[in-house]
Each structure stands twice: as C-alpha cells, then as structure tokens.
Amino acid sequence: MIENLQWLPAAAGLESLEDLKPSRIQQRVSGTVVRNYDKLYMPIEVGCLLQESKIPNDWKSAWNSVDAYRW
C-alpha cells in the first residue's frame, strides 16, 4: 500500500503527497451527491487531542471510547 501511495499525487495532478488536501478528495454520499472531505470532515486544531478540555464536542464520544490495548 505504501509503495502504491506514491502514485496517488501524480494521478490527481499534484506534485507531491503534501499537496493532497481534504478539498481534493471526494466521496459519494448518495446516488448523485458528491462532497469534498473538507465539507464532510471538519478540520481540528493541531494538538487539541492532547488536552481533554480542548477535544471538539463532535469527537468526545469516540475519543473517550478509544483503548490503546484493543483494536
């Protein structure tokens, strides 16, 4: 998978993997509706998951159910 990942930017018309942003990735959400990842998944502040008081409300339930010792 990692080896094939190198071809993704070129297929998208980009220079490097760093140029691949959520706005460039699209997902079909219904039969004829397509949305960019930047509309489907709002960005979070860098480092916000390191302090419980800064975890976004939309993330709290999932974040609190995480277990480092189980998949």
41 part of a folded domain: yes
- pLDDT tens digits in sequence order for the chain, 71 residues long: 888 888 888 888 888 888 988 888 899 999 999 999 999 988 889 999 999 899 999 899 998 898 989 87
- pLDDT computed for residue 12 by the predictor: 83
Residue 38: C-alpha distances to residues 13, 55, 68 (Å): 19, 19, 28
Taking the model in full, what pTM does it have? 0.56
- pLDDT computed for residue 32 by the predictor: 94
With b for 16 or more beta-carbon neighbours within 10 A and e for fewer, the 27-50 pattern comes to eeeeeeeeeeeeeeeeeeeeeeee
60 part of a folded domain: no
C-alpha 39: how far from chain center: 11
DSSP calls for 38-58: HHHS----TTGGGSGGGS-HH
Domain count, the chain: 1
- pLDDT computed for residue 48 by the predictor: 93
Q: 37: domain range?
A: 23-52
42 part of a folded domain: yes
**Residue recorded with tokens 């993330």:** 59
